[in-house]
Amino acid sequence: MVKNVNYDKINDLKGVKIKDACTLLAGMVNTALNNHNPALALKAISLAEELFKRKPISSLKTHLYHVVANAWSCVAKNSGTPWDWDSEAFGKEIFYLRKTLLEPAFEKYPPSFRVIIYTNLANLLNTLGRTNDAMEYWDKAIATIPNFGMALGGKGIGLMDLANTMIYDTARAEMYLYSEDLLKRAIASDTVEDHARQPFQRRLEFLDEMKIKRSGLKKTHANKVYNDRQEADYRFWCRYHGLVLNNLNLIEYYRETSDSIHMPSMVTYGAVGMPKYYPYFNQLKQEFITARYLCYEGQLYDYTTHFSDKEVYIIDTYSGERNDLCIEKIKLAFKTAYSILDKISFFINDFYELKHTKMFNFRNVWYKDAKEKEGLLKIFDKRKNWPLRGLFYLSKDFAYTTSDVYCIEPDAEGLKNIRDHLEHKFLRVMMIPRDEETPVISETDLLKKTIKILKLTHSALTYLCLAVGIEEAMKPQKESENGIIMPIYMEPKQR
């Protein structure tokens, strides 16, 4: 540990060994955090950029990414307000935490370090409204150290906040009870930091005042049995990858398989007939379900030839290239899931009456003239709609053009390139990729990326649905010449 260092006088790290420099920067960032000094944190970030140019080994790079993430955390906490939407500091913190996870040496670090990275990333995603995406990292932390109190408590708070956005009382109650269990486990753990114990306790006291009776709740569809083995396998695969459109699936003991999320009841002012957003969302949901199933079928490849591929003459290039129905299903799943995001941007443009007419997409629909450099639209600035902000920050996982200011997903450019090649160019899928004149990808990597896009689309649909619910709850029932215009209540039907 570095002691008695005047960090204000350190302006470069020339001549300092990389390992010592990493330790020095860690001390600088800790000092910045303790003293609420964002200027010192920004200096540490600048010095770290110089260190990266020296190409440190993976173990040191892992440490350095973590240090930079903490520095951006200091900047974020000491600038702006909690409801500032477009915070570059928050975005950079997510980016560098993700870079930490991606380093090969990360898994060699002790569990006590890994759970901190998982939990910090989960807590930040949740703060920004991306609770569904945060779950994966809380769960990884808990799987690494089962009684890690900070992850248990963070997850409990996240689910409690998510429950507050849900429209059905029974589902909300189930989520509250699971949150209560997690918070009790967190407080009982000796790994809870002192600053977190009181907030966890306050949440528990709130839940205790709710007086929710466990005996009165029915676990609908829990452990449902399917007579059809193929359907059972498919439903299990959906649950395993977190692709069921049902927030109750976030509860550990639930085994929900019904895709039950839908648009809430909506208020219309003067319109005749059903609001157009119901068929909009129905189409988005069905396209997701179809893409999900195509991906599932595509990954079932067993080296046998489907009848549709028989009597099809293909030149053997002796490269191990895949040209078959299954791989095309995975490609279609990727393209369909990605295209849903652009349709969501159309939904947002219409619902919030943004009046974008051309050249807008999921990434830039939030900005003036659909240009990120022009700044956030006033309608979204500090808007207190938590899942909508989550949808906004999810859009920053994607790169559409080189003019996008910053992405918070290290693999954003890679995902964009796969989509561009699948839609407009060529992308060869091989069992074992090798250098070729045309772009190639392994079948394993393509499947992994497709599931990743499906997960992001799953989250986007969830946040969209919850965000609309909050907007509808805030709408006043306006009076007109014909009296009060009432909400239109729509009952979803299970097929």
The string of pLDDT tens digits covering residues 88-109 is 999 999 999 999 999 999 999 9
Asked whether residue 321 falls in the same domain as residue 416, the answer is yes
38-62 confidence digits (pLDDT tens):
999 999 999 999 999 999 999 999 9
Q: How far apart are CA 114 and CA 138, in angstroms?
A: 11
d(CA 334, CA 452): 9
Residue with tokens 């965000």: 467
The domain total for the chain is 2
From CA 159, how far away is CA 207, in angstroms rounded?
12
Domain assignment present for residue 236? The answer is: no
Confidence check: pLDDT of 482 > 70: no
Inside any domain, residue 335: yes
Beta bridge partners of 321: 430
Last residue of a domain, one of 162, 191, 216: 216
Q: Within this chain, do residues 29 and 153 fall inside the same structural domain, yes or no? A: yes
Q: Is residue 494 part of a domain?
A: no
Q: What does the pLDDT read at residue 493?
A: 65
Rounded CA-CA distance 120/148 in Å is 13
Phi, psi at residue 265, to the nearest 5°?
-60, 140
- pLDDT at position 1: 47
Q: Which residues fall within 8 angstroms of residue 338, CB to CB, at 6 or more apart?
A: 415, 419, 453, 457
Listed in sequence order, the residues at least 6 apart from 153 whose beta carbon sits closer than 8 Å to its beta carbon are 182, 183, 186, 187, 192, 196, 199, 200
Tokens of 6: 């005047």
Q: Three-class SS of residue 441?
A: strand
Q: Residue 252 domain-assigned?
A: no
468 close to 264: Cβ distance less than 8 angstroms: yes
Asked which of 232-236, 304-308, 416-420 is least confident by mean pLDDT, the reply is 304-308
CA gap 395, 460 in Å, rounded: 9
Contact yes or no for 306/325 (Cβ under 8 A): yes
Instruction: Find the domain containing 466 and state its range.
Output: 261-488
Two tokens at 44? 């540490």
- The mean pLDDT of 342-370, rounded to a whole number, is 93
Three-state DSSP at 55 gives coil
